[in-house]
Chains A and B, each alone.
Chain A
Amino acid sequence: QVQLQESGPGLVKPSETLSLTCTLSGGSMNGYYWSWIRQPPGKGLEWIGCIYYTGSTNYNPSLKSRVTISVDTSKSQFSLELNSVTAADTAVYYCARVVPGIGPDYWGQGTLVTVSS
């Protein structure tokens, strides 16, 4: 059974870097895109970006200048870094497996990250 689990600080100060890791269990990273998606409180979903298991990345243009997604297949993990955060980056951050041509079929439970001093 594929499971994804986000981990990282729940509180980040403005102007600092948000860092999250997603750990995969019960499956292989091969053949899939691995994505970060966020949801501000009470709002809809926003795609942040994704990384193919080979390491190629695609980012939301609105966040591209601040986002880095990386993968470590030996640890079955992929990570998100979002720099220069503001209160507008406060959200539940989800990691998800994306099947090419189908979409996000497995999701983590999500982790709330609050940006506040």
Chain B
Amino acid sequence: DIVMTQTPLFSPVTLGQPASISCRSSQSLVLSNGNTHLTWLQQRPGQPPRLLIYDISNRFSGVPDRFSGSGAGTDFTLRISRLEAEDVGTYYCTHVTQFPYTFGQGTKLEIK
């Protein structure tokens, strides 16, 4: 199984300031066709998760452009350019490269 490791697990951020979350996979997520199916999810308190970013850097429908994703191979990053109050929650990286799908432990973003 591919192990997904996120850092940090907890991040206090000031409103209006940037935030960054890292995700590392235990093996390369690059497929033979060159695609890398690394996905980021956001879970607001009391809500189900929501898809934010897929294929490393593609924002899903309705996701604000302050969210961006980058990376390659085994190392990936989710960035929020300016934190807003509605961004508070837990963020998970996951892959849909092969079965079984696995999730990172989650990174909890809070307002400082």
Residues of A near any B CB (own CB < 8 A) = 35, 44-47, 49-50, 58-61, 94, 98, 100-105, 107-110
CB distance from A34 to the nearest CB of B (A): 13
Is B100 interfacial (CB 8 A cutoff)?
yes
* B76 CB-CB contact with A under 8 Å: no
Whether B101 pairs with A44 at a CB distance below 8 angstroms is no
Given contacts A45-B92, A105-B60, contact A61 B106 (CB under 8 A): no
Number of B residues, CB within 8 Å of A: 25
B100–A103 CB distance below 8 A:
no
Q: Using a CB–CB distance below 8 Å, which chain B residues touch chain A?
A: 1, 35, 37, 39, 41, 43, 48-51, 54-55, 60, 90, 92, 94, 96, 99-106
- Considering the complex, give the chain A residue whose CB is closest to the CB of B99: A58
Q: Please, which residues of chain A bring their CB within 8 A of the CB of B101?
A: 35, 47, 50, 98
Contact A94 B102 (CB under 8 A): no
Known contacts A44-B92, A94-B48; is-contact A103 B103 (Cβ 8 Å): no
A7 to chain B, nearest CB (A): 15
Q: Is B103 within 8 A of A45, CB to CB?
A: yes
Which of the residues A44, A61, A108 comes within 8 Å of B105, measured between beta carbons?
A44
